[in-house]
């Protein structure tokens, strides 16, 4: 459903290009939702301000100005520890700001989960807060004025973001175009964490008020509770002027003295005596961090979901059995737990001295009888003479005497034909017929079919067709040594 702006939206409503997914938190005058940009596809955190409870029109306009001021301050600041802004709108009854979605938890929830934060983690968190405040003051003359554990988000790996810049004070002209008049009776900030001078006059404060709030946050991280606690702001102010009743070193025995001294200077009630250099605070924190052996274990990153990997197939030796082979049918091959017994390799029996060749005829069923070896003399180079490898040559047939007839055909003498060889049919001599004595009509006779003439090469091949090759003798190598 499209949001009309007459009520506080709910999950499932669409505000501009954003679809509200789930609520992230709720305050006295507003609510924050996790949303998704339907155009760009990125996630965002949308902060709504409920103006329905305000009856004074002047007060409504002042809250709107403050809301728009926060949006423009965030648009001017670009720092990795300050949440970024995407867009803002004042057109609805519930104005909203769409900003960067940071998947982290507030510092107080982090402390509720892990208990007291040790000084090493405290140094890492405080260093990031200090760098963000220093950047905003040095570049834009902006002070937060509402630092507290609820406005500091801790994400994966200990990365922090400072949020809620609605009451930030800007002393530099950022072309905001908004003048926000702060009444002296209007309370700005959270009493337990604000500086004493901010309680007296919220409009007349400097950036050292943020340093005081940062010192109180460090105290609470180390001890687990704020240094001052009372039900009235007057009692809180009195406690802040007097200072803590206990020393921080007594409450945290393993705290380095340099950090105890730094936090005491940051929580100085008199703003003129309070430490006023962000660079000095960063230097002290960095020196302590450099003493740490491994800071990656202080804020371990969340383990990503790992996709289970398939077990590698076993390496088969020998031939695959056709029964276990996957033929691409309907039954898939089993991946996990696939086992196969390896075939035992066949061991060939060999002797380095003698090699015995045993020949077994196909028709024999019993054990083969070794053929007695034949002695062979090797040449000087160690090879077997060619005469021992080749079979005895068959006697060459005597040359044939071939007579040619008058017409050029071959006439074979029957007396010289080889016994057992196919007899060549004698060629009939072609003699020229004598001239006829007198012309007499002859009766028609079928033409005589003459034998095909054979060439000398074909005759030679036919003569050798009867030769039969004898099998090679069995040879055994005998080492003469």
Strand, coil or helix: 402: strand
CB 211 within 8 A of CB 273: no
- Measuring CA to CA, which residue among 423, 97, 119, 368 is closest to residue 262? 119
**What residues form DSSP beta bridges with 20?**
35
How far apart, in whole angstroms, are the C-alpha atoms of residue 178 and residue 430? Answer: 136
Judge if 14-100 and 105-177+187-290 fold alike in CATH terms: no
How far apart, in whole angstroms, are the C-alpha atoms of residue 164 and residue 207? Answer: 17
For 14-100, CATH number out of 3.40.47.10, 3.40.50.300, 3.30.200.20, 3.60.110.10 equals 3.30.200.20
CB 124 within 8 A of CB 298: yes
Write out the two tokens for 321: 């059995």
CB 378 within 8 A of CB 393: no
- Measuring CA to CA, which residue among 470, 473, 476, 460 is closest to residue 393? 470
pLDDT (tens, 9 = 90+) of the chain, 481 residues, equals 555 555 678 889 998 899 999 999 887 677 899 999 999 999 999 998 888 777 778 888 888 888 888 888 888 899 999 999 999 888 766 789 999 999 988 998 888 887 789 999 999 999 999 999 999 999 988 999 999 999 999 998 889 999 988 888 887 655 555 444 444 445 577 899 999 999 888 878 899 999 999 999 999 999 999 999 988 889 999 999 999 989 999 999 999 999 999 999 999 999 999 999 999 999 999 999 999 877 766 776 655 444 344 444 445 455 544 444 434 444 444 434 444 444 444 444 444 444 444 445 555 555 555 566 667 677 777 666 666 665 555 666 666 666 666 666 665 555 555 554 444 444 444 445 555 555 555 555 555 555 556 666 666 666 555 555 555 555 555 554 4
Residues 6 or more apart whose Cβ sits within 8 Å of residue 8: 31, 48, 50, 94
Q: Where are the domains of the chain?
A: 14-100, 105-177+187-290
* CATH code, 105-177+187-290: 1.10.510.10
Q: Which own/partner contact pairs does 35-44 have at CB distance under 8 Å and 24+ positions apart?
A: 35/98, 35/101, 37/86, 37/98, 38/14, 43/101, 44/18, 44/86, 44/98, 44/99, 44/100, 44/101
CB 113 within 8 A of CB 156: no
Spell out the alpha helix ranges (H) of 77-143. 107-114, 119-140
């Amino acid at each position: 459903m499209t949001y009309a702006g007459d009520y506080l939206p709910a999950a499932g409503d669409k505000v501009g290009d954003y679809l509200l997914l789930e609520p992230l938190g709720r305050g006295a005058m507003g609510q924050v939702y996790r949303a998704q940009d339907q155009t760009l596809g990125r996630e965002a955190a949308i902060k709504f301000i409920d103006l329905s409870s305000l009856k004074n029109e002047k007060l409504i306009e002042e809250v709107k100005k403050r809301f728009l001021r926060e949006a423009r301050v965030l648009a001017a600041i670009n720092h990795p520890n300050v949440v970024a802004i995407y867009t803002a709108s004042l057109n609805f009854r519930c104005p909203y700001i769409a900003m960067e979605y940071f998947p982290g938890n507030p510092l107080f929830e982090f402390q509720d989960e892990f208990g007291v934060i040790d000084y090493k983690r405290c140094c890492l968190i405080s260093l990031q807060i200090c760098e963000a405040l220093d950047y905003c003051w040095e570049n834009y003359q902006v002070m937060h004025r509402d630092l507290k554990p609820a406005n500091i988000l801790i994400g994966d790996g200990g990365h922090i973001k400072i949020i809620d810049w609605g009451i930030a004070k800007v002393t530099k002209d950022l072309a905001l175009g908004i003048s926000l008049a702060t009444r002296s009776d209007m309370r700005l900030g959270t009493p337990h964490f604000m500086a004493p001078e901010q309680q007296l006059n919220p409009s007349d404060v400097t950036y050292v008020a943020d340093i005081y709030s940062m010192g109180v946050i460090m105290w609470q991280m180390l001890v687990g509770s704020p240094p001052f606690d009372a039900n009235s702001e007057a009692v809180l102010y009195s406690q802040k002027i007097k200072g803590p009743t206990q020393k921080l070193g007594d409450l945290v025995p393993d705290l380095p003295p340099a950090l105890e001294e730094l936090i005491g200077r940051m929580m100085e009630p008199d703003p003129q005596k309070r430490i006023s250099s962000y660079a000095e605070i960063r230097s002290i924190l960095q020196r302590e961090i450099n003493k740490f052996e491994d800071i990656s274990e202080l804020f371990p990153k969340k383990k990503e979901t790992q996709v289970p990997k398939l077990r590698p197939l076993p390496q088969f030796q020998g031939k695959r059995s056709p029964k276990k082979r996957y033929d691409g049918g309907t039954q898939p091959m089993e991946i996990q737990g696939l086992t196969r017994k390896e075939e035992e390799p066949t061991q060939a029996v060999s002797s380095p001295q003698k090699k015995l060749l045993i020949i077994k005829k196909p028709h024999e069923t019993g054990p083969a009888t070794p053929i007695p070896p034949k002695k062979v003399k090797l040449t000087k180079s160690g090879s077997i003479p060619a005469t021992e490898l080749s079979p005895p040559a068959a006697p060459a047939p005597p040359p044939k005497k071939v007579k040619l007839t008058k017409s050029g055909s071959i006439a074979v003498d029957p007396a010289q034909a080889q016994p057992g060889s196919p007899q060549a049919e004698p060629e009939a001599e072609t003699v020229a017929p004598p001239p006829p004595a007198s012309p007499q009509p002859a009766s028609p006779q079928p033409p005589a079919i003459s034998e095909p003439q054979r060439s000398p090469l074909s005759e030679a091949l036919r003569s050798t067709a009867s030769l039969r090759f004898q099998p090679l003798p069995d040879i055994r190598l005998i080492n003469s040594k």
